[in-house]
């Protein structure tokens, strides 16, 4: 599959958590920004979200928002090929989870007339996450998304 996972701390995707005990961070570094990598990453993140105590609707929102953020890296960050980092962290005391997708590219429009806000991806991410911060820079972009685990039930 080509994923180089740094640490998953024994996370068992699909196991239900109560959100009260910390779930180890999930970190993937220097993952090839390729469409073929995205489904496995999305599924790992969804399983991790369940372990962290997110309810089924929030898990679906997390999976779709993260997939969209990673797809934006594939489509827009690099003219040819590149890499991305994906990190998921559970803040048990704050009752929230946070996923960050980072690239080292620069904005590459899909076609003529395509603008930074021209697509549907970033607005979708903002709607799906409880909070989403997109930070572009000359050295890449960082998309940070978070969801509350407070009051969640499967």
Q: Which strand (E) or helix (H) includes residue 125? A: helix 121-128
pTM over 0.85: no
Give the list of residues 6+ apart from residue 51 with CB closer than 8 angstroms, or none: 11, 12, 13, 15, 16, 17, 23
149 vs 80: CA distance, rounded Å: 38
Nearest CA to 88 out of 54, 138, 126 is that of 54
Q: Mind listing the domains of the chain with CATH numbers?
A: 1-6+24-106+131-154 (3.30.565.10)
Give the angle subtended at the CA of 65 by the CAs of 63 and 69, to the nearest 5°: 115
Give the list of residues 6+ apart from residue 128 with CB closer than 8 angstroms, or none: 61, 62, 64, 65, 68, 145
Give the list of residues 6+ apart from residue 140 with CB closer than 8 angstroms, or none: 77, 102, 103, 104, 105, 106
| Sheet containing strand 83-91, strands side by side | 5-7, 26-32, 83-91, 96-103, 140-148, 131-137
Q: Can you give the pLDDT of all 154 residues of the chain as single tens digits?
A: 444 444 444 333 434 455 556 799 999 999 999 999 999 999 999 999 999 999 999 999 999 999 999 999 999 999 888 999 999 999 999 999 999 999 999 877 665 444 544 578 999 999 999 999 999 999 999 999 999 998 765 4
């Amino acid at each position: 599959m080509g994923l180089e996972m740094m640490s998953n701390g024994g996370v068992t995707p699909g196991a239900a958590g109560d959100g009260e005990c910390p779930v180890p961070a999930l970190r993937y570094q220097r993952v090839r920004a390729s469409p073929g990598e995205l489904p496995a990453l999305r599924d790992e993140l969804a399983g991790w979200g369940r372990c962290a105590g997110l309810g089924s609707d929030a898990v679906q929102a997390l999976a779709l928002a993260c997939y969209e953020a990673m797809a934006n890296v594939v489509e827009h960050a690099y003219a040819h090929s590149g890499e991305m980092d994906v990190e998921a962290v559970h803040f048990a005391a704050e009752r929230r989870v946070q996923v960050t997708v980072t690239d080292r590219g620069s904005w590459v429009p899909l076609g003529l007339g395509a603008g930074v806000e021209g697509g549907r991806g970033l607005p979708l991410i903002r709607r799906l996450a409880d909070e989403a911060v997109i930070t572009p820079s000359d050295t890449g972009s960082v998309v940070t998304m978070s969801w509350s685990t407070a009051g969640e039930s499967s």
